[in-house]
Amino acid sequence: MRCRNAIKQIGPFIDGELTAPETQVMREHLDACADCSRRYALMHGMVKELSSLPAIVPTPEETYRLMNRLRREMAAPVAPRLASRRGQLAAAALSALVLATVAGVSLAVWSGGGPAPVMEEVTAEGEGVAEAGKEIGQPSEDLAMESMGTGLAAATLARPALVTSGNEYTAADLEDFRNDLGTRLDFYSTYWYPASSGASKPATLKNMQADLTDDLAKQAAAAGQDPGELELAVTAVMEQAGDEPVLPCYAERAKVEGKDAWLISVSGPEDYLLFPDRKQPPAMVLASLGGEESLKVSESVLRELAAWLAPSSSRNVPLVPASTLQSQEAETGSGAPTDGATSTPEGAADAEQGQVQEDFQSFLRQLAAQGTSLDVISALEGLDYEQVLMLMQGNWSSLAAGGVNLSDFLTPPQRLWAVDCASGEVLWSAE
Amino acid sequence: MSIYDDNGGEQDRLPDEELVRLYLDGDSAAFEELVSRYESVVMNMAYRLLGNRSDAADVCQEVFVLLIRKLGSFRGEAKFSTWLYRVSLNACHDYARRSRRHVSISESPGDDLPEIEQRLADDGFDAPEISLERAEIRKMVRDAIARLPYKFKEVIYLHDLSGYNYKEVAEILDISLGTVKSRLNRARARLAKELEGYREQMG
């Protein structure tokens, strides 16, 4: 056997991929040839090194991000075959987005948990909106590339959306403008979560802000708008946000109080509160800053509710659905609004229960009368005493761990600005 | 049918192909089970081929999203795992190509992570008793793999790191046995040369 042939066979020899006669020939050659024997030893050592390299184990954060992304993907409505690709992409990316058409003028209304986007209607409306539909959730290669440098998840990349609606809004309209919750959810998983889990570098926020602003400017140019004006508006908003880490996620060209304006919405780290998966990543606890201001119910209401739910030795009344009662059983505490004897005869106990139940219902009706939304009230009904306390204390992580949907009780700051196109002056802000 | 039979909590592991069928019938838990079986496999493959962890996590997401979209076209002709390997290798390949202009972020695997992450999450879980020298050799080997041409990384990963034999590697990569053999040989020769150089340098 010649060395030239032997060299080619060293690998298969080590791997046991040679036939018996080939193996025999190889052995003989190695015994006789010092050079090949040295080559063999070296390669054998290398193969051993390779096979001893430890495998990496996905961290809980990585698994969490993966599963969330996949659950959203699986939950995305399946677009009908005839729907355009853009519709499908948007549906996949923004399952929570609703685009409603009002009186023939399309107005983007964003709300969590809504039905599948009515993309087809909107794409017929006008170029600007259609363009936005296309862009949402469809990462361009450019941006995907740029973002890789910052360690962002290209696979889940959510892009800012730009709409040229030309709608006329008054300040009052803007108050009601439920901005971009869907987009912000996507932003959470694309930007905030990786940032908080340490998967990106400290400089990333600035890079992300710059990338997203660029992206919006490009979209503006593509929609026939002046990208410079858009950049001016975004910059003005970022200045308003001050030290708060925010990312521009939505721009709409419209008129506000008669002036040409850009509506700019930004995403903040608090958007994690809207995240559908209730397992809250520990690193996001910090982001619950500002949670109190965004509570949908006042603290006094919560205090009253806690009083209703406080366990009392005299009362095991199912004020709340039975499923939430378990944790009360072991409780001893005070603060119940009604006192009662510890050993009430059965009939009297029933009567008392009926009375308490009625009082509780009237308390809830009162809340409704005061303007608390029915959704919030029904969510409150599902809480137990401990959970109400957690809500009062802002103990979001324990609530989330207990399966409470935080977005039932919390709403993120609106974070919407209207900026005069020409002057860059802030015309209106939600804050 | 659930992905596990309720048998006193005992997990009766269903074959992958059965999970695919269940998922296609609308059982999303079946898909989650597939993910939990293969997340680590895909992560490791992507990590070895791309050389850094955050890219690996990205690709891992891409792969499973792709799987959700493509499972309908899985015909069951190949084993699910072989099919998944192919999809994953293609995804890694695409990713590497897309990001070629942006490489050089990190020459060394794991260098893109903050120090604490590197310690926690990387190959760096070398037990403390492993000598410094061994740890250094490992690092050298990892770095050398990262510098290999992509085609070489594939075979090294599949054969030397994952334990597939030549025939299986050929099947997964859809190349001939001879090609597997020669690529593997050349890849190892390069690595061996680097290892030799390193040892000489260390005296």
- pLDDT, tens digit, 9 for 90 and up, residues A224-268: 999 999 999 999 988 887 766 778 888 889 898 888 999 888 877
Q: Which chain A residues are closer than 8 Å to B169 by Cβ?
A: none
- pLDDT, tens digit, 9 for 90 and up, residues B15-45: 999 999 898 888 888 898 899 899 999 999 9
- Is it the case that residue B159 has pLDDT exceeding 70? yes
Q: Which chain A residues are closer than 8 Å to B141 by Cβ?
A: 46, 49-50, 53
The reported pTM is: 0.42
Q: What pLDDT is stored for residue B156 in this prediction?
A: 92
Which of A43, A153, A156 lies at the smallest CB-CB distance from B192?
A: A43
Q: For strand A426-429 and strand A247-256, is the pairing parallel, antiparallel, or unpaired?
A: unpaired
If one compares A305 and A202, the residue with the highest pLDDT of the two is: A305
Confidence band, pLDDT 50/70/90 cuts, at residue A331:
very low
CB B123 within 8 A of CB A56: yes
What are the C-alpha distances in Å from B100 to residues A146, A149, B103, B143, B149? 12, 11, 5, 17, 12
Q: Which residues fall within 8 angstroms of residue A394, CB to CB, at 6 or more apart?
A: A288, A291, A292
Packed helices A34-52 and B177-202: angle between N→C axes, nearest 10 degrees: 90
Q: Is A77 on the interface with B (CB under 8 A)?
A: no
- pLDDT, tens digit, 9 for 90 and up, residues A278-323: 344 333 333 343 334 456 676 677 777 777 777 654 344 444 433 3
Confidence band, pLDDT 50/70/90 cuts, at residue A21:
very high
**Mean pLDDT lowest among A141-155, A409-423, B115-129, B135-149:** A141-155
CB A56 within 8 A of CB B51: no
Confidence band, pLDDT 50/70/90 cuts, at residue A189:
low
- Is it the case that residue A216 has pLDDT exceeding 70? yes
Q: Which chain B residues are closer than 8 Å to A157 by Cβ?
A: none
If one compares A222 and B124, the residue with the highest pLDDT of the two is: A222
ipTM exceeds 0.85: no
Confidence band, pLDDT 50/70/90 cuts, at residue B108:
very low
Residue B1: exposure state from Cβ atoms within 10 A (0-12, 13-18, ≥19): exposed
Determine, for residues B160 and A51 on separate chains, whether the beta-carbon distance falls below 8 Å: yes
Q: How far apart are CA A268 and CA A285, in angstroms?
A: 14
A199 Cα to chain B: minimum distance (Å): 7
Q: What pLDDT is stored for residue A177 in this prediction?
A: 58
Q: Which chain B residues are closer than 8 Å to A71 by Cβ?
A: 28
- At residue A243, the 3 state secondary structure works out as coil
For testing the chain A interface, which of B70, B143, B167, B188 should be mutated: the one with the most A CBs within 10 Å?
A: B188
- pLDDT, tens digit, 9 for 90 and up, residues A343-353: 445 566 666 66
Q: What pLDDT is stored for residue A30 in this prediction?
A: 94
